[in-house]
Amino acid sequence: MNPLEIPEIVIRRLPLYLRTLNLMAAQGQTVTSSQEIGERLGISSTQIRKDLSYFGEFGKQGTGYNIEYLREQLRQILQVSQRWKVALIGAGDLGRAVLRYSGFEEGGFEITAVFDKDEQKIGRQIGKLKVLDIAKLHEVIREQGICIAIIAVPASEAQEVADALVNAGIKAILSYAPLPLRLPSNVQVHYIDPVIGLQSMTYYLSPEQI
């Protein structure tokens, strides 16, 4: 099937399945079922089977899914069997917290360059990386062949940074800045916004809890 014919909402659930399988594998489990994955995620087992059926047959009726096999298939579908290089823009509190996040490598990512415009931060060592001058953004991204970036700068600077990233050849942006970015249609974007997460829960709270 043409990759673009699969609904985006299906694609967005696959990383959740993969994370659940990774956790099961870490706990020594080798086999699972759509029921079990569904219970962990609050998604129906029918939905999970339907989502996976876009990509093939991954389990047998009655015997469930081999976790290792399904993980590898999902990694291939999501193209995270290899490791993607990622540029991080912003070395403030948020940027440092992102750098310390421990799940990137297992997820298929490695932050290989961090940039800031603040002269007090440029040159500082954070973990394995030295903070680079944002003036070198284009050069370093081209040199390293990076096509994914994380924006962790204040909202007022986010669009300018995004423009520079697009100009340097970046094709996917994860943004922590609380505003929509203007981007060419061939550049993917995903926003990390705590308010969106909170607002999707308040609907279910009783009004008397306010």
Strand bridging mode 129-133 / 148-151: unpaired
Q: Rounded to whole angstroms, how far apart are CA atoms 24 and 71? A: 10
Cα distances (Å, whole numbers) of residue 108 to 12, 90, 103:
16, 21, 9
Tokens linked to 168: 């340097």
Stretch 2-21 residues interacting with a copy of itself (CB under 8 A):
3, 8-9, 11-12, 14-16, 18-20
Of 87, 94, 114, 161, the one binding a copy of itself (CB under 8 A) is 94
Residue 120 near a copy of itself by CB under 8 A: no
Residue 54 near a copy of itself by CB under 8 A: no
Provide, for the chain, the percentages of residues in helix, strand and coil under a 3-state DSSP scheme, each rounded to the nearest 5.
45, 20, 35
Which of 135, 154 has the CB closer to a copy of itself?
Answer: 154
Residue 147 CB, nearest approach to a copy of itself (Å): 5
Which of 56, 194 has the CB closer to a copy of itself?
Answer: 194
Task: Look at residues 192, 187, 95, 171 and name the one whose alpha carbon lies nearest to residue 113.
Answer: 95
Q: Rounded to whole angstroms, how far apart are CA atoms 200 and 69? A: 33
Stretch 134-193 residues interacting with a copy of itself (CB under 8 A):
147-148, 150, 155, 171-172, 174, 178-180, 188-193
Which of 60, 100 has the CB closer to a copy of itself?
Answer: 100
Which of 61, 201 has the CB closer to a copy of itself?
Answer: 201
Residue 67 near a copy of itself by CB under 8 A: no
